[in-house]
Every structure is written in C-alpha cells, then in structure tokens.
Amino acid sequence: MRQQLSRSAGRRVGRTFGVAGIGLALILGAPVAAASKTPAHPLGSAAVDTARMLSADQEPGTWMASGRTYSEQRFSPLTGINKANVSKLGLAWFGDIDTERGQESTPVVVDGVLYITTAWSMVKAYDAASGKKLWDYDPKIDRALGQVACCDVVNRGIAAWQGKIFLGALDGRLIALNGKTGKVEWSVQTTDPKQPYTITQVPRIVKGMVVIGNAGAEYTCRGYVSAYDANSGKMKWRFYTVPAAPGDPTNTPLLEKAAKSWHGEFWKYGGGATAWDTILYDPKTDLVYFGTGNGLSWSQDIRSPGGGDNLFVSSVIAVHAATGKYAWHFQEVPGDEWDYDVTNPLMTADLKIKGQVRHVLMQAPKTGFFYVWDAKTGKLISADKFAPANWASKIDLKTGRPVENPDARYNETKAAIVQPAPLGAHNWHPMAYSPKTGLVYIPVTESSTGFQSAVAKDFQVKDRVYNTGTVSFSDKITSLYGQPGALPRGNIKSYLEAYDPVAQKEVWRAPDKDYGAHGAMVTAGDLVFSGDWSGRFSAYDARTGAKLWSASVQADVVAAPSTYTIAGVQYVALLVGARGLPPGQPRTSESSANNSRLVVFKLGGTAELPSKPMAGGTVAVRRLDPPLLTGTNEQVIDGQGAYGRYCAGCHGQGGVADKSIPDLRYSSALKSLSEWNAIVVEGSRKDKGMVSFKSVLADGQAEAIFHFIISQANKDKASEQAARR
Ligand code: HEC
C-alpha cells in the first residue's frame, strides 16, 4: 500500500492510499495517521499528469479535474461524510465573490489548493483547508462582450496540469497561469476577436494538450474545437464542426461530404454547431468526444432552405486524441430547428448490459432522450425519454434517428409548440453517476415554447445580435397555446432525477420548490449533493432520493459541488450565486448583489454566513407595478418583435427573466422613457454588460420595446391579481 501523505504549510495534504477501489474508501474520512513526511507535492504544485489522472481513484481526496476523473462521472469515492452523519454537516468557511452574474464552476482541488472561476472569467485560488485566499487572476474582459455571451458571462472552471492552471476566457483567449502565483505563463487567442465568439467551458487536458471549443452559434459563428500544447500554447490540431463556403481551405473531404446535407448559402450565417460545453477524453478508446450546438439560423427555412440533416449540427463527434482526426459522429437532431444543442455533459462508464460489461458513453441532452453508446464505435445501445418531450416520440434504434412529431416543425405560416423549450430538459448543469448505485443523477427542467419562422425574405443577419430567424410570440403561437389540452407555456417544473441508464427508466425524483436546474455530485457515502433556486444546498439518499440534510446558502445555485479531504477531513465545496436572489432572500454580501460565494462544508463546521441584510439590500416581496400603457397597439406589436430578436436572449422570453439579468417588467426605467433610452440607446450601463443597441434598432424601436414591456407587465400584473383573488 503506497501512501502519499504530504506535509505542507504545517499540515498534511489529504492525498491518500495506493490501493485500488472503493472498498478502501471506507476508511477515508477518518483522520489519517502520518506515514511519510516527505511532501509528495508542495502546496499549489498542481502536479497533475496522465499517470496521476489515471490513478485518481487511488487518491480519492483530490478533485483534480472539473469532472474529477477522465470519465467525468463526478463520483467521489469518499465516505467520510455519509448517510449516518450527514446531518452534522456545517459550514467550514466561505469566500465572497466580486461579481453578481452567474457562478457555474466546479471547484478543482489539488495539492492543497482549491481553484474556482467566476463570472467574467476570473480565477481564484484558496488554501483548501483554511479558506485563505492565495491569489486572484482577472483577465479584464471588455464588459461590452456581454452582448454576445448568449447565456450570461459565466465560466465553468479550470483545468490543472503540470503546475499550470488553464482558463478559457470569455473573449476567446486560452490562458495558462502559474498554479502557485496566478501569474500568466502564456496566453493564446483561440478565436478571431472580430467575430462574436465567446468561451465559457472548461478546458480539458488530453495527452499534454489543452482542448477547447467556443460558443456563438446564435451570432454567426462557425464551431470548432482546437488542441494546444500545454507547455507552449502552440496549436496542434483543429476540428471544424460545419462546412464553410465552397472552396474554403478549411473544408476537409469530410466537411465537403457534410456540405451535401445543407442547402442554400448556409455559410453566410456562419453555420453554428459550436461545441461550447462538454469535451471528454477517454483513455480507454483514446478518443476525444464533444457535443455540438444548434445551427444558424434556428429556422431551417432560412438556414438551409429545403431542409437536410445539416451535419454536424446537434451531434456528438469523436476524434482521435493525438491528431484531432474524425473517428465517428452521431447526429442526435438531424436538421435541428429547436436549439437542441447536444453540448450537454458526456460521461463514460462500464455498464452491465444484457449480461455483458460494456464501455459506454452516456448523455442526457436538451432533447429529453437519454443516450447510451458504445464508446469505441459510437454504436447506439439504447435511447429513451428521461423527461417529457413532444418533438419526437422515440429514437429508432436501428437508424439512430428520432421519430419526429410532424407538428413540431414550423415555418413562416405554421407555428409549433415544442417541449422541451430551448433551455432543454437538461442543459450544461453537471449530472453525476454512481457506479455503486448504477444511477445517473440528472437535473431536469420541464418547459415548452412556441416557434414560428421569421419571414425569410425580410430576414437579415445582423452583427452581434441573435439571428435565430424565429419568433416565439405570434398570433398563431398564442392560438395554439389557447387550445384545450395545450401544454403550459414557459417553465413548468424542475427536479433532480435518478435515472437507471441500463433499464432506461426513472428511479426517483426530488422536486424543486422553485424552478431551475442545479448541478449534482454523488459520493460513495451514497449521498447526492445539489443546490437549488430556493437558496438551499442539500444532500439526498442516492438510492431513495430522501432529503437527508439541507442548509441555507442565501443564493440561487446552478453550479455543481465537489468534495475533497485535507488531513483526513472531508470537505464539500460549492459556488453559489446566479440570476438574482431566491424568493425572500435579502442581500448579505458586500461585493455581490446575488450573494455570489464559495461555500465549503465539513462535519461539525460552525461558520455562519452573514445574516444581516446589506444597507439597501432588503428584498421585499416583488410586485409588478408598471405605469399604465400609453403606447399604441402597433408599437406594442413592433416592440414585441424587436424585443424577441434583440433583448429576449438576455432578458428572457416575453420579458420574464431567466438568468442573472434584470427582469425588465420590474425596471424603474419603465417610469421614464428618457431613462430607458439612456440605457438602451446611449449605453449608460455599458460597463455592466448592457451595451447600446443604437446601431441595431430601427427608429422608434427602443420606444416600441418600452411599450411592449409595459404592456406585458400590465398583463402579468392582472393575471397575478386574478390568481390571488
Ligand atoms: C447581452 C445581454 C443583454 C441584451 C441582449 C440586452 N440586455 Fe439589457 N441588460 C443587460 C444587463 C447585464 C443589464 C444589467 C446592467 C446593470 O447591472 O445595470 C441590463 C439592463 C437593462 C436595463 C435596466 C434594467 C434595470 O432596471 O436595472 C434595461 C432597461 C435594459 N437592459 C433594456 C434592454 C433592451 C430594451 C434590450 C434589447 C434592445 C436589452 N436590454 C438587451 C444585458 C442585456
């Protein structure tokens, strides 16, 4: 038994045991006797390499990569915190974060240091035991870039490798930092800064290379994934996910073939299919997998008139790790029109299927169908619904194609109500798999939305705004929603679901009080940890879903936790803060309007979050209080269209906010058109991420949107009052 206990800064760093397997983990969490006093890796070494990653289970007290291991199961072999003692979990320490946008990263903990990223691509390193801040890094992102970050200016975390910490920054830079000091070692621009690309994903380390994709499929970007040498930052390979214009030098023979699945001058819109979240390296197959997003526009009438599969939109792609050369692909949504990105987390596992152990790749994408593939060949093993979906009835296991509901397609004259809505049944929020229970824990959201194509002949691509070519509010959509038996519009409900990937069936669900998805982690202590949008962090029995422990974290939670040990003590760490505050929760943080924080728990922890509201920070129960509508019907209709195209991506469909961006129905700017224009036209809040829309809005449109929001707020106020009666 190899022991790797190390002493640094006067205490042992909790690296543990060289015996394989989970059985051993039973003794973890109990204080560990010092065996060797030689520091294996001094504090801040970030000494991750392939061998160490491959034997991650032999040091269960580290969380070396965002998904912990190459499999990205987000399963911890630690059992120090378990069903018997989880009720004693308390706050060990916390650190305030200096931004009020969404916090999505999973803490990575290696060699005694805990690393997080925050909104605006900032990195922070803490002593993982004491919570002392060791360093901060701010790449100073131009706040105007917030305009092209479709879904908030978030970042999902770092990768650690041989002393360096890697960050994919919002502005497309890939940055290598010194793990001990946070100083920049190298930085490369992975995108054309003139194009509206952004990066929010975790870089993945593959054989000494850093692999990174990008986002921007709503804004005329063409997707690709690239690999850079981790030491030098030199590019090693790049894989484009969609063809460019005929004759373009980046069109490989594969992409020329893919171009046959497109029609029209699709390249004018960029193509899309950006691989903006999941990237997975599997050492068993030596393949790198990633999922691609939607095409541009969403509407096929505009993107590819006449239809077609539009390869490789909404596909899982496997490439050879060393070269980036194509191995296989699986298109989940041929000719996608519903923003069904399949960029959602991928994981590998060994599952016993029909008596045989199979090495599989799994995904629970936006579409509502859970997929299990053979990881080596991409052959579909099974696919079934893990959440309600009306766009397709099932997946044909022979062809791998969805059996579509013909009513789900839309065009200029035909509307459709589709479930799930574009945010999906499961989006980027990390899911977790326990080899002990055999269950996948998926944060599920149920929602529906209406689609209709914009009028193709009038449609123009515009710079730096949504170019989806769709409308989500129209008379036809309203009338569909008015029909008996129609689905509820918008967000319906959310829950944490335990899903059996072999039997393809739900085993339990833990419903949320307030709607919203939140990442998950599972441990060998048979606990599933996840936060929620009611401001709580909870532990559930991994087998039954019973809630065993819960604590207030005073903020909405979207990120996933991680767990680690230092000197034998097990900690659970989580980033909180996103989209405003939970109902009734006052602001308690000096530096963040949404109480963004890093919170770290341990058994018997006695730290406390500040309980006093900040001055001016009390949140009263919000009531809609708009001025009376003075705009004309024409203005409201014009405003609805312009809002849908230029504002809804950030401020939410129909003016109802779904991110950390203000809900305009409550804005005090509704009381004064000149204040409104100062913000919307003149860009008075540019440095907060609300840029001027002067160059995209036609004359009168800012005012038209103003009247549309007032009209919407009055309608919603009337229905709230009716509901209270
Ligand atoms: C890329 C994201 C994004 C888009 C697109 C966007 N906004 Fe904003 N908007 C923001 C952010 C972020 C804020 C909060 C700024 C702050 O903290 O003061 C904001 C704030 C506002 C406010 C002030 C709200 C308040 O009371 O604090 C108004 C009004 C507003 N936006 C109107 C619009 C309109 C109208 C459009 C479409 C033409 C639009 N926005 C498009 C991100 C966006």
pLDDT digits (tens, 9 = 90+) for 220-231: 899 999 999 999
Residues 88-98, mean pLDDT to the nearest whole number: 97
446: CB partners within 8 A, 6+ apart: 387, 388, 419, 420, 425, 491, 492, 493, 494
Pick 558 or 6 by higher pLDDT: 558
Residue 90 scores a pLDDT above 60: yes
CB 613 within 8 A of CB 586: yes
Å from CA of 596 to ligand 1 middle: 20
Q: Is the pLDDT of residue 628 over 60?
A: yes
Q: What mean pLDDT, rounded, does the chain reach?
A: 91
Taking the CB of residue 182, how many other CB atoms lie within 10 A of it? 18
Cα(637)–Cα(635) distance, integer angstroms: 5
User: What distance in angstroms lies between residue 663's CA and the mean position of ligand 1's atoms?
Assistant: 9
**Tokens coding 119:** 């909104």
Average pLDDT on 23-45 reads 54
Atom of ligand 1 nearest to the CA of 697: 38
Between 368 and 297, residue with greater pLDDT: 368
Indicate which atom in ligand 1 lies nearest the CA of residue 466.
5
Atom 9 of ligand 1, nearest CA residue: 690
Integer Cα distance of 508 and 465 in angstroms: 41
Does residue 401 have its Cβ closer than 6 Å to ligand 1? no
Nearby residues of 438 by Cβ (< 8 Å), 6 or more positions away: 351, 500, 501, 502
The confidence score (pLDDT) of residue 580 equals 83
Instruction: Please name which of 368, 314, 369, 370 lies closest in space to residue 343, comparing C-alpha atoms.
Output: 314
> What is the position in ligand 1's atom list of the atom closest to the CA of 705?
35
Cβ neighbours of 132 (radius 10 Å):
12
CA distances from 650 to 100, 335, 370, 519, 664 (A): 15, 25, 28, 21, 10
Atom of ligand 1 nearest to the CA of 668: 26
Report pLDDT for 459. Answer: 82
Predicted pLDDT of residue 26 = 40
Give the tens place of pLDDT for each residue, 147-188: 777 778 999 999 999 999 999 999 999 999 999 999 999 999
| Look-up of token digits 């010092």 | 34
415-453: per-residue pLDDT in tens?
999 999 999 999 999 999 999 999 999 999 999 999 999
Query: Which of 16-25, 532-541, 615-624 is predicted most confidently?
Result: 532-541
Contact 162, 46 (CB under 8 A): yes
Measured between alpha carbons, how far is 538 from 376 in angstroms, rounded to an integer?
Answer: 36
Read off the tokens for 152. Answer: 């908030």
pLDDT at residue 35, rounded to an integer:
40
Cβ within 8 Å of residue 358, ≥6 positions away: 350, 351, 352, 374, 381
Ligand 1 within 6 A of 647 CB? yes
Q: State the pLDDT at residue 616.
A: 58
Q: Is-contact 267 324, C-beta < 8 A?
A: no
Of 141, 690, 696, 709, the one to substitute when testing ligand 1's pocket (max ligand atoms within 8 A of C-beta) is 690
What is the chain's length? 725
Rounded-to-integer distance, Cα 665 and Cα 627, Å? 10
Q: Chain centroid to CA 94: how far?
A: 23
Query: 668 CB under 6 A from ligand 1?
Result: yes
Closest atom of ligand 1 relative to the 693 alpha carbon = 38
Ligand 1 center to 662 CA (angstroms): 7
Ligand 1: distance of its center to the CA of 648 in Å?
Answer: 10
Query: CB of 329 within 8 A of CB of 307?
Result: no
Confidence label for 217 from pLDDT (cuts 50, 70 and 90): confident
Phi, psi of 454 (to 5 degrees): -65, 160
Question: Is pLDDT at 467 greater than 80 in this prediction?
Answer: yes
Compute the C-alpha angle 665/668/673, nearest 5°.
95
Contacts of 235 (CB under 8 A, 6+ apart): 188, 226, 227, 228, 229
Residues 245-274: tens digit of each pLDDT = 999 999 999 999 999 999 999 999 899 999
pLDDT band with cut points at 50, 70 and 90 for residue 652: confident
Could you tell me the distance, in angstroms and rounded to a whole number, from the CA of residue 503 to the centre of ligand 1? 46
C-beta of residue 159 within 8 angstroms of C-beta of residue 204? yes
* Res. 721 pLDDT band, cuts 50 70 90: confident
Q: Is 535 in the pocket of ligand 1 (CB under 6 A)?
A: no
Answer yes or no: is the C-beta of 669 below 6 A from any ligand 1 atom.
Answer: yes
Distance between CA atoms of residues 527 and 522, nearest Å: 6
**Residue 524: how many other CB atoms lie within 10 Å:** 24
Closest CA relative to residue 519, chosen from 580, 450, 443: 443
Q: How many CA atoms lie within 13 A of 704 on its CB side?
A: 19
Q: Which atom of ligand 1 is nearest to the CA of 701?
A: 38
Could you read off the pLDDT of 375-398 as tens digits, one per residue? 999 999 999 999 999 999 999 999
Token digits of residue 98: 């200096």
pLDDT grade for 9, boundaries at 50, 70 and 90: very low
How many other β-carbons are positioned within 10 Å of the β-carbon of residue 639?
Answer: 25
Closest CA to 342 of 407, 286, 280: 280
- Residue 68's alpha-carbon distances to 183, 488, 568, in angstroms, are 24, 38, 18
Six-digit token string for 18: 């060289």
* CA–CA dist 380, 399 (Å, integer): 9
One-letter amino acid of 507 = V
**Which residue's alpha carbon is nearest to atom 19 within ligand 1?**
690
pLDDT at 615 over 70: no
Q: Which phi-psi region, left, alpha or beta, contains residue 577 (left: φ > 0; alpha: ψ -120 to 50)?
A: left
Q: Which atom of ligand 1 is nearest to the CA of 666?
A: 26
What is the CB neighbour count within 10 angstroms for residue 354? 7
pLDDT of 622 reads 66
Ligand 1 centroid – CA 639 distance (Å): 15
Tell me, what's the pLDDT at 658?
66
Give the model's pLDDT for residue 271: 93
Q: 């909180």: which residue's tokens?
A: 576
Take atom 32 of ligand 1 and give the residue whose Cα is closest. Answer: 680
Residues of the chain above pLDDT 90, percent: 79
Closest-CA residue, ligand 1 atom 17, reads 688
83-97, 126-140, 293-307: least confident range? 293-307
Residue 712: both structure tokens together: 């919407």
- pLDDT (tens digit per residue) in 69-88: 999 999 999 999 999 999 99
- Cα(659)–Cα(652) distance, integer angstroms: 7
Cβ of 689 less than 6 Å from ligand 1 = yes
pLDDT at 16: 36
Rounded to whole angstroms, the Cα distance separating 605 from 551 reads: 12
Alpha carbon distance 693, 701 (integer Å): 10
Residues 6+ apart with CB under 8 A from 589: 96, 595, 596, 597, 610, 614
Which residues 6+ apart lie within 8 Å of 12 measured at CB? 5, 6, 32, 34, 566, 567, 568
First to last CA, the chain: 69
Residue 685 CA, ligand 1 centroid: distance in Å: 8
Q: Which residue has the tokens 């010194």?
A: 178
Rounded Cα–Cα distance for residues 113 and 166 (Å): 15
Peptide bond preceding 370 in cis form (omega within 30 of 0): no
pLDDT, residue 617, reads: 56
d(CA 98, CA 413): 47
Tokens representing 86 are 């989880």
pLDDT confidence band for 323 (50 / 70 / 90): very high
Residue (of 514, 555, 524) closest to 432 by Cα position:
524
CA torsion sign for 428, 434, 437, 438 is: positive
Is the CB of 683 inside a 6 Å radius of any atom of ligand 1?
Answer: no
**158 contacts 99 by C-beta, under 8 angstroms:** no
**Residue 688 CB–ligand 1 contact under 6 Å:** yes
Cα–Cα distance, 618 to 588 (Å, whole number): 9
- The token duo for 170 is 């919002």
Q: For position 454, what pLDDT does the model report?
A: 87
Decide: 650 in ligand 1 pocket, CB within 6 A: yes
The number of the ligand 1 atom at minimal distance from the alpha carbon of 642 is: 38
Looking at residue 619, its pLDDT comes to: 53
33 CB burial (10 A radius; 0-12, 13-18, 19+): exposed
Q: Quick one: 361 exposed, middle or buried, by C-beta within 10 A (0-12, 13-18, 19+)? A: buried
Ligand 1 binding pocket includes 679 (Cβ within 6 Å): yes
- Residue 37's pLDDT band, with cuts at 50, 70 and 90, is very low
Residue 655 is predicted with a pLDDT of 79
